[in-house]
A and B are shown apart, each in its own frame.
Chain A
């Protein structure tokens, strides 16, 4: 058995993590430590396991080998531990995943009321604060279907923030958006990064990575192939695979 690792200075820690989908080896010996307040951008070709990796961090997917610690708590088969961990880990999806049958405000107060058992009034106050932060308080009583993609994604960010998480996970938050809406979402994320949140973000937005990332991680075929500061990684990729990926990204 692996010894319990020293956990000082890691908000998220992955030790020798493997995951298979049937025969397919989706994550292959992932070792990764992310410090509190650190901003990490994950990139890599399609199918390289980026989504799988961050979905393992809040146990939307279960890993089969190795250890994952979030906030010092190991994620294992205990679903209650996973539920507790998820309260401290916000997640933003490519497809927003807002609840279409609830208004924007109801989307934001659902988890605070049912998971944290906050009184409705407090939950509404918190929700309105964050809706103002993402600059759409006036849409609070509309349904998600009535908003543009960019607005929906900002609501999704606000909804996650309402749980007051220590960690935010983003899985290609701008990939499903029309080009003119990408900026408003990225601006929101940049502002969030300024606030000292631990962030793990799967994205191919190099401008965003340069601006906020402390570290860029490059994945290919289920492995972490390379990591470094954004300046190093984008200017001087060490591996051929990363160089090839970056050249394709530019074109």
Chain B
């Protein structure tokens, strides 16, 4: 019945559908408890009426927002795909800034602190992350090869390691290494403890990624290399790994980004990285939110940098796949 109607009056059905969606959004916004204050703020003349009819005002505000969203959607549809992407990014970024703006942040305070945040916090975070990433990659490579080993002892070691370090919360690992190692007579600094925990934890995750990548290469490849006389390590390094990289890089990039942010956990043992500074720098003047938002934005920018790096590397290793 309805499908018949849609088929007979496609244009009418489309318009009805749009109107229906608009109503839904309006109702949804209303139900979420949208405020009408912004209308009074934009058009002061209406504020009296809004105060008298709060429910109607909120309903009106919801309807206005639904209409703005619809108009925005229509406008974006006129653009090319590339412009649409940029447009959406700009709009959402503006909304995010508006959201932060609503906290009434003290910009001078941020300006005063940001230099130290970068020179101390960012440098420490990057330094911890970069070293951990390098070590984790080495661990992952070793772990993956061990997991593919026929030797039971080596396989046992590798599986116990990945199981343990994937199974414990990273925060716990940091505490255990920092507080536990001195118990057995090995005193470890906060930064080395953090690097060790991050490397071991992410090495365990990445072991699985590397193993899957290596296993994804058909057996014919290693047989072809072996038949040419290449040793097993040459086969791995020259034939298998370069091909496995295509499979390994995307999830590894994710891990790097996750690790960058998880390095914030190292703040619990008093390392002066971004998170630690965000929590401590705002304390004296009770400006916590300023520092937290600044730190968040810094993490985001660093992640974008890693994303960019990842796409460049993916391009490089994907080269041979183009026909």
When distances are taken between beta carbons in the complex, the residues of chain A under 8 Å from B230 are 110-111, 114-115
If A99-B221, A101-B242, A110-B238 touch, whether A91 touches B227 (CB-CB below 8 Å) is yes
B228 and A101: CB pair below 8 A?
no
CA distance A90 to B238 in the complex (A): 19
When distances are taken between beta carbons in the complex, the residues of chain A under 8 Å from B220 are 93, 95, 97
When distances are taken between beta carbons in the complex, the residues of chain B under 8 Å from A159 are 228
28 CB contacts below 8 A, A to B, read A58-B227, A60-B223, A60-B227, A83-B229, A83-B231, A84-B229, A86-B226, A89-B227, A93-B227, A97-B223, A98-B224, A99-B225, A99-B239, A100-B243, A100-B320, A101-B242, A101-B317, A101-B320, A102-B320, A110-B228, A110-B230, A111-B229, A114-B230, A114-B238, A115-B228, A115-B234, A145-B321, A159-B228
| B216 CB → nearest A CB, Å | 13
Interface residues of A, Cβ cutoff 8 Å to B: 58, 60, 79, 83-84, 86-87, 89-91, 93, 95, 97-102, 110-111, 114-115, 143, 145-146, 159-160, 163
Question: Does B150 have its Cβ within 8 Å of any Cβ on chain A?
Answer: no
| A28 CB → nearest B CB, Å | 24
When distances are taken between beta carbons in the complex, the residues of chain B under 8 Å from A79 are 232
| B117 CB → nearest A CB, Å | 42
A146 and B227: CB pair below 8 A?
no
Question: Does B323 have its Cβ within 8 Å of any Cβ on chain A?
Answer: yes
* Other A-B pairs beyond A86-B228, A93-B227, A110-B239, 10, CB < 8 Å: A86-B229, A97-B224, A99-B224, A100-B320, A100-B321, A101-B243, A101-B320, A114-B230, A114-B234, A115-B229
CA distance A115 to B232 in the complex (A): 12
CA distance A163 to B223 in the complex (A): 16
If A102-B320, A145-B323, A146-B323 touch, whether A111 touches B228 (CB-CB below 8 Å) is yes
Secondary structure type dominating chain B contacts: helix
| A177 CB → nearest B CB, Å | 16
- For the complex of A and B, the 6 pairs showing the least CB-CB separation, nearest first, are A97-B224, A111-B228, A91-B227, A87-B229, A97-B220, A86-B229
Interface residues of B, Cβ cutoff 8 Å to A: 220-221, 223-232, 234, 238-239, 242-243, 317, 320-321, 323
| A47 CB → nearest B CB, Å | 18
| B210 CB → nearest A CB, Å | 17
When distances are taken between beta carbons in the complex, the residues of chain A under 8 Å from B320 are 100-102, 143, 145
CA distance A79 to B226 in the complex (A): 11
CA distance A19 to B232 in the complex (A): 23
| B230 CB → nearest A CB, Å | 6
CA distance A102 to B317 in the complex (A): 11
CA distance A95 to B220 in the complex (A): 8
Of the residues B223, B229, B234, contact of A93 by C-beta under 8 Å: B223
CA distance A60 to B227 in the complex (A): 7
CA distance A143 to B323 in the complex (A): 8
A97 and B238: CB pair below 8 A?
no
A97 and B321: CB pair below 8 A?
no
When distances are taken between beta carbons in the complex, the residues of chain A under 8 Å from B234 are 114-115
CA distance A163 to B242 in the complex (A): 22
Closest residue of chain B to A146 (Cβ to Cβ) is B323
Closest residue of chain A to B243 (Cβ to Cβ) is A101
CA distance A37 to B316 in the complex (A): 45
| A104 CB → nearest B CB, Å | 11
Closest residue of chain B to A60 (Cβ to Cβ) is B223
CA distance A145 to B225 in the complex (A): 18
If A100-B320, A115-B230, A143-B320 touch, whether A93 touches B242 (CB-CB below 8 Å) is no
If A95-B220, A100-B243, A114-B238 touch, whether A160 touches B228 (CB-CB below 8 Å) is yes
Closest residue of chain A to B224 (Cβ to Cβ) is A97
When distances are taken between beta carbons in the complex, the residues of chain A under 8 Å from B228 are 86, 110-111, 115, 159-160, 163
Interface-centre pick from A58, A86, A114 (highest chain B CB count, 10 A)? A114
| A145 CB → nearest B CB, Å | 6
When distances are taken between beta carbons in the complex, the residues of chain B under 8 Å from A95 are 220
When distances are taken between beta carbons in the complex, the residues of chain B under 8 Å from A98 are 224
Closest residue of chain A to B239 (Cβ to Cβ) is A99
CA distance A115 to B221 in the complex (A): 17
CA distance A102 to B243 in the complex (A): 10
CA distance A163 to B229 in the complex (A): 9
When distances are taken between beta carbons in the complex, the residues of chain A under 8 Å from B239 are 99, 110
CA distance A86 to B223 in the complex (A): 11
Closest residue of chain A to B241 (Cβ to Cβ) is A101
| B157 CB → nearest A CB, Å | 22
Closest residue of chain A to B237 (Cβ to Cβ) is A114
| A160 CB → nearest B CB, Å | 7
When distances are taken between beta carbons in the complex, the residues of chain B under 8 Å from A93 are 220, 223-224, 227
| B313 CB → nearest A CB, Å | 14
CA distance A89 to B226 in the complex (A): 11
| B115 CB → nearest A CB, Å | 45
| B259 CB → nearest A CB, Å | 27
When distances are taken between beta carbons in the complex, the residues of chain A under 8 Å from B232 are 79
